[in-house]
Amino acid sequence: MKVLHIEPEKCTGCLRCEVACSYVQSGEFNPSKSVIRVSAFERGHTSFSPYTCFQCAEGWCMTACPVEAIDISAVGAKEVQDDQCVGCKLCTLACPYGTIFYDPEREKAFKCNLCGGDPQCAHACPTQAITWIEDFTQDWTGAFAAQRSAADLARIGATNGR
Amino acid sequence: MLVTEKKRNQPAGYAGALLRVDLTTGRLWEQPIDDEFARSYVGGTGMGARILYDEVGADVQWNDPENRLILATGPLAGTPTWGSGGLSVVTKGAITGGATSTQANGFFGANIKSSGFDGIVFQGRSDQWVYLYIHNGTAELRDASHLLGLDTWETQDHLYEELGLSGHQLSVYSIGPSGENLIRFAGIQGDYGHVASKNGCGAVMGSKRVKAVAIVRGNRGIYVADPRGVFRTADDIAYQMRTELPGQNFYLIGTLGGVTGLAPVGGLPIKNLTTNILPAEADMSKWEPMELREGFDHRGHQCNACGMHHCHMQVIRDGVHAGDVVDEPEYEGWVGAGWAWGCTDRTKVSWMNTQCDRAGVDVNEFGWVIGWVMECYEKEYLTRQDLGGIQAVWGDADAAYELLQMLCTRQGFGDVLAEGIKRAAEHLGGPAQDCAVYTMKGSSPRGHDHRALWPEMLDTCVSSTGTLESGGPTRPQELGLPATLQVQSPDDVPRQVALTLGRRHFEDSIGTCFFTTSTTIAAIAEAVSAVTGWNYTKDDAMYLGRRTAALMRAFNLRSGIGPELERPSARYGSTPVDGPAAGVSTAPHWDHMLDTWYELVEYDRESGRPLPELLDRLALPEVKAELWG
């Protein structure tokens, strides 16, 4: 099965994935509508990581949805069906990864649907930090984020203690 | 606070408005950008030149409240085109007293458009120090007294914490202590390492008492005319950058190839242009481009949507500053923060380069100032006592850092150095003045030894922008030039500079970085077409560029800057005494090169005025009326 594979070490924080994704989501270049988001660590000087739904096996959003508006698509994406979504936001509370969002203009939840099997973020990424390859899926950024955040916390601690 | 409505009918590719700020009254308002204004002036330098020409009169000095400070981006900003975070700064500058066009990248262009504006026009002067806060179509002047004295990186750190934001959610473009103290070569620095440094634009910002512009990444989308075309043209440019020279060099390694590439042709400035022989202590293997990158712990730090292997952060590995995160110097940083004054220890140079960015000074002029001080110290035109106890020995990075602090705070002789190289040299006069590198307009050259690279010397001297105006032709053939350019030919050089005039202004008007558009003008014009729906061509691009150049030249003539100032200082125009370009000199050819350049750009040789026929062709009747009656 093809998955969206993310290697945070390769990300330079250019946000080109957000620009491309936002076009698919909204028809405009508007990163606030992107469902892939680049997080910055170390004050954004040296560490970035793209972060989006990795289509977890548990499917927390799908389980929580009271109207069964979230399906699994042919390419393995948990996909919001706009005609069924009532905009209750339960899915956004249920998702432990923070990768399903609520659009107040349309009053619908929205998330990564793997662009129907041709993810534009992977096309857009100039450093191959995001690729669309055969692999097992997993939370690609958790360990990286934990390590970088620990470094940040250690630095802040050191500053406060000085 | 200004609160604006989300726009519905803005031109494709534009947020649709310039944010106008009158600092004297505290009033903020929107100046809508309609289709005609967008098509005529595009953005960045093009729009800035028009506003500067229209609104700043002959009697307005650089530090007069009536001066305008324009920070603008263009239609490609925020799109998938590489490097689309562009900022161009236009103002009446503190160095030349004439027009300025200077650029930085980062995320300025992308973030300001997502927050509802294509640019900012400052006028007036604030009573109190302020910073401008912009978010989602709102704008507000906020007290900046707590930011005073902070360097540019600290200012951004502080605003991150104050506003609770991180990474690229917030762009901060600020002045350092140098801009606050009106150092004439102060620049505007943003997003950790991107500096619009030329012609004292930071001093202008300081004179208006604006410490920083803080732009929060907003939620306003950019509507484009042909989205598929935007992706296609962005990918085409990226493909050309990856596979074709000269862009490929920048793609692979940014400008790091400069030191070892220019040394063999005499283009690397060493010790204030006193020699072109590499110092014995310089280990050139450490200056190979890949060594400059791999010799430090490093990480890509790209601008908006950029895939170049250009901007990086690096970590100092050893010495007293071990562990410090710095911005990997550009080629010109390696020179201005080191080679120009004899420091060839790359660790020290790298650290010094970021200190210049943090202080907010132009690293090129810093190099010429420090080089001149060190030469004067060696020749005893300046003593240790003159310098407040500093022993300014060639290559001494500690001395250079002390001089940086001294000039940024205008202490002692720092007050003289703060006026820039030309004024400092004139202050001392005599043989010391003959050692200084500058143009008679007051600007100083970029980080190359132009005595071996004549196009840049001619360009620097005839420029109306306070720095190179034409820039390199990138693809010479498309401008009617031969594929291989002779850089020391009295006939080829003015031809190259003249026929290239306009290209850089176009690139600086569209909201991208000129490194990422090192390809054909036609390819870039196609990207503009896809965003705007204009059917834009190479000829349109050069027309915009020439029009912008004419506006800036007319502005400079109005400001009293004419052809009589178009020559290098004694040292800048001197003959290399040794090295690869020993014995060659522009001096015997200077008038001939000027004659040819004037003829080709269609400016009047005596008065410097763009000729009436040219102004007719450029549809600038008001400029013609002002210049020719």
Rounded to an integer, what distance in angstroms lies between the CA atom of residue B571 and that of residue B582? 14
Buried b (16+ CB within 10 A) or exposed e, A84-100: ebeebebbbebbeeebb
User: What is the least distance, in Å, from the CA of A110 to any CA of chain B?
Assistant: 16
User: At A116, which CATH number?
Assistant: 3.30.70.20
Widest CA span in chain B: 66
- Chain centroid to CA B212: 18
* Of residues A111, A121, A115, the one with CA closest to residue A6: A121
Residues of chain B contacting A47 with CB distance shorter than 8 Å: 299
Reported as half-sphere exposure (CB side, CA atoms, 13 A), residue B249 has a value of: 11
CB A146 within 8 A of CB A38: no
Strands (E), chain A: 2-6, 37-41, 47-51, 70-72, 78-80, 100-103, 108-111, 130-134
B110 at interface of A, judged by CB pairs closer than 8 A: yes
Chain A residue with minimum CA distance to B309:
A127
Instruction: Give the residue on A whose Cα is nearest the Cα of B116.
Output: A30
At A149 the pLDDT is 77
Query: Tokens 């630095």 appear where?
Result: A155
Whether residue A44 and residue B299 make contact (CB cut-off 8 A), yes or no, is: no
Phi and psi angles of residue B255, each rounded to the nearest 5 degrees, phi first: -105, 15
Please name the residues in contact with A92: beta carbons below 8 A apart, sequence gap of 6 or more: A61, A100, A101, A102, A109
Q: Which B residues 234-263 touch A at CB under 8 Å?
A: 238
Task: Tell me which residue of B399, B364, B363, B360 sits closest to B382, measured CA to CA.
Answer: B399
Identity at B172, one-letter amino acid code = V
Question: Sheet holding B188-190: strands in order across?
Answer: B2-3, B138-143, B130-135, B210-216, B170-174, B188-190, B194-196
Size of interface A-B (CB pairs under 8 A): 105
- Nearest-angstrom CA–CA distance, A79 and A55: 10
Q: Do B167 and A29 touch (CB under 8 A)?
A: no
Residue B518, classed as helix, strand or coil, is: coil
- Asked if residue A162 belongs to a domain, the reply is no
Altogether, the residues listed in chain B come to a count of 629
Q: Write out the two tokens for B74.
A: 């263009």
Nearest to B82 by CA among B530, B511, B536, B531: B511
- The strand pair at B119-123 and B170-174 is best described as unpaired
Best CA proximity match to B192, nearest among B224, B170, B161, B208: B170
- Give the gap in angstroms from C-alpha B293 to the nearest C-alpha of chain A: 14
Q: What confidence score (pLDDT) does residue A1 get?
A: 85
Look-up: residue for tokens 């020290």? B348
Res B611: pLDDT: 98
Instruction: Using 50 as the pLDDT threshold, list the residues of chain A that sit under it.
Output: 159-162
Instruction: State whether A29 and B78 contact (CB < 8 Å).
Output: yes
**In this predicted structure, what is the pLDDT of residue A157?**
57
**Could you read off the pLDDT of B467-497 as tens digits, one per residue?**
999 999 999 999 999 999 899 999 999 999 9
Instruction: Please state, in angstroms and rounded to a whole number, the distance separating the CA atoms of residues B57 and A150.
Output: 56
Amino acid, single-letter form, for residue B346? R
DSSP, res B572: T
Instruction: State the best of A9, A10, A14 to mutate against chain B, taking most chain B CBs within 10 Å.
Output: A14
Kindly state whether residue A71 falls inside one of the protein's structural domains: yes
Interface test with A, best of B152, B170, B231 (most A CBs within 10 A): B231
A101 inside domain? yes
Residue A22 forms contact with B (CB below 8 Å): yes
Q: Report chain A residues whose CB lies below 8 A from the CB of B300.
A: 12-14, 127
Q: Which of residues 41-60 of A touch B (CB under 8 A)?
A: 42-48
CA distances from B72 to A30, B15, B169, B368 (A): 19, 12, 19, 29
Between the alpha carbon of residue A65 and those of residues A61, A69, A92, A109, B484, the distances in Å are 6, 7, 10, 10, 66
Nearest residue of chain B to residue A32 (CA atoms): B219
Structural domain harbouring A12: 2-154
Q: Is residue A20 part of a domain?
A: yes
pLDDT on residue A160:
47
Residue B187 vs residues B86, B356, B582: alpha-carbon distances, Å: 16, 10, 34
A16 occurs within a structural domain: yes
Low-confidence stretches of chain B (pLDDT beneath 50): none
Count: domains in chain A: 1
Q: What DSSP line would sit under B593-609, residue for residue?
A: HHHHHHHHHTB-TTT-P
Q: Is A44 helix (H, G, I), strand (E, B) or coil?
A: helix
Residue indicated by tokens 């002047």: B141
Domains, chain B: 2-216 (3.60.9.10), 252-434 (1.10.569.10), 454-501+537-628 (1.10.599.10)
Tell which of A7, A21, A45 to mutate to test the B interface (max B CBs under 10 Å).
Answer: A45
Q: Is residue A161 part of a domain?
A: no
- Tell whether A159 is covered by a domain: no
Please report, in angstroms and rounded to a whole number, the separation of the first and last CA atoms in chain B: 44
CB contact under 8 Å between B110 and A13, yes or no, is no
Opening angle at CA B88, ends B93 and B556, nearest 5: 35
pLDDT at A162: 38
Cα–Cα distance for residue pair B91/B89, rounded to 1 Å: 7
Q: How far apart are CA B521 and CA B4, in angstroms?
A: 36
pLDDT at B210: 98
B470 touches chain A (CB under 8 A): no
A83 belongs to a structural domain? yes
Minimal Cα distance from B299: which residue of A?
A46
pLDDT tens sequence across A48-64: 999 999 999 999 999 99
* Residue A33 touches chain B, beta carbons under 8 Å: yes
**Measured distance CA(B370)–CA(B403) in Å, rounded:** 8
- Inter-chain touch B167–A44, beta carbons under 8 Å: yes
